[in-house]
Structure 1
Amino acid sequence: MTRSVISVRKGSPLKDIVQTMRRSRVSALPVLSTDERVAGVVSEADLLLDAQDMDETRAVTAGQLMTEPAVTVPQDATIASAARLMAHGHLKRLPVTDEDGALIGIVSRGDLLKTYLRPDEDIAAELREMITAHLVPAGAPLVHVHVSDGIVRLEGSVPDPKLQDMLVRVARTVPGVVDVVPRPGAAMSA
């Protein structure tokens, strides 16, 4: 995510919104309430829709133009869940909020796609560390991790089906993982 987010207040006038969008080269802005929470999002589409019915004498603010409630994502959300939200809502970006709903960043489609450029070696190292530190108890069978083009292959003899499923689920949460597949003939399941 990008941490330095350009935003506007609910009371920001139309002209300021347009100038901020143009200067920042963005097509939408989070709209913040007085307590720094994301109240909505105002986009170029919102501005254009309002322009059709615009009365030149009326003052228009971000609070009147914004789409609400804002679709946001919590800071601890997975990349997959953020991508699902974006795809479902046909959104280009999502404000990222802390546990109190305060804006802490913004994540774009491009940000999510960057994770798939992560080197296979980095993915494998992170997954190996997670497995040895948290999932496979001492003395348990060894699990080998192989990553190629973001596709994880888990190999080894893990007799407990619940642990097998957990290993696969955990592997799918690692940023940059495209898929997790078992090696034919291995005891791992997918």
Structure 2
Amino acid sequence: MRTLKVQDVMTRDVITVHEATPFKEVASTLVNHRVSGMPVTTPIGMVVGVVSESDLLPNESRSEHGRLYDVTHRTEARKAEARTARQLMTAPAVTVTPDTPVRQAAAILARRGINRLPVVDELGLLVGVVSRRDVLGMFLQSDEDILDEIQHEVFLRGMSVDPAQLDITVTDGVVTVRGQLELRSSIEIAEELVRGVVGVVDVVSQMTYAHDDQHLRVVDSVNGVQMRDLW
């Protein structure tokens, strides 16, 4: 089963600025390219931070708030004095790698409340950017395509289960699976695999099992910790 990765959806032609880029050039780059933020890199392309519109705003706010602003908003006050991208940027940058699953990237974007993630290779060099808009594309798979992958990749190929013995429906990305599997443990495995299919929004499991294999586990006789499964 294919897992959609960041390298499948990321933008490779990335607008960047260098650490020494002056304030006005940073601002004009954001405006001219109609982006709200961009990576800050070293001369060799290593990502050291991200600069966004919000990083530039304190520069304007300082003149309005004066000394009180310096005392109550020290981070903003420091950025208000900034003259280069390095002084403006938010660091360290939150990054992902090309082989990061898109679902994981989407979770990071949501948890951090940010709009984009620089994509770096094993050396920390910039290779692309993945945005919220990029990851939303994973939910545009049709219900028919989702159903086909679940039937053939999850159950037939992944679990050696004939999908014809199950009742699988997909409506607006929500998958409902009814039917019986041989082992209780297989239900959890199936649910996890179905959730990993590109385009799946949620899974409603109504599967039952013929045999309860939960007791077939080897447990350490000393501390009672499960060591491995028998199957």
* TM-score, length basis structure 1: 0.82
Instruction: After TM superposition, give the deviation of residue 118 of structure 1 in Å.
Output: 1.8
Count of equivalent residues: 182
Q: Is the 8 A contact 2:59 2:82 kept in 1?
A: no
The structure 1 residue matched to 2:181, chosen from 146, 155, 158, is: 158
Gaps of 5+ in 1: none
Provide the aligned C-alpha RMSD in A. 2.6
State the partner residue of 1:78. Answer: 101
State the partner residue of 1:187. Answer: 208
Q: Is the 8 A contact 1:152 1:179 kept in 2?
A: yes
Identity %: 40
State the partner residue of 1:94. Answer: 117
User: Per the alignment, in what secondary structure is the counterpart of residue 121 of structure 1?
Assistant: helix
Residue deviations 1:9-40 (CA, integer Å, cap 9, x gap): 11222122112111110111111123322211
Q: Does 1:67 align with 2:87?
A: no
User: Per the alignment, in what secondary structure is the counterpart of residue 163 of structure 1?
Assistant: helix
State the partner residue of 1:172. Answer: 195
Q: Does 1:28 align with 2:37?
A: yes
Structure 1 stretch 160-169 or stretch 36-45: which is displaced more? 160-169
Residue deviations 1:50-87 (CA, integer Å, cap 9, x gap): 44359xxx882211211000011222223332222122
For 2:82 and 2:56, locate their aligned partners in 1 and report how far apart those are by CA, in whole Å: 13
The structure 1 residue matched to 2:154, chosen from 131, 148, 160, is: 131
The structure 2 residue matched to 1:118, chosen from 130, 136, 141, is: 141
For 2:156 and 2:181, locate their aligned partners in 1 and report how far apart those are by CA, in whole Å: 16
Instruction: After TM superposition, give the deviation of residue 134 of structure 1 in Å.
Output: 4.7
* TM-score, length basis structure 2: 0.69
State the partner residue of 1:142. Answer: 162
Where has structure 1 moved over 4 Å in runs of 4 or more? Answer: none
User: Per the alignment, in what secondary structure is the counterpart of residue 124 of structure 2?
Assistant: coil
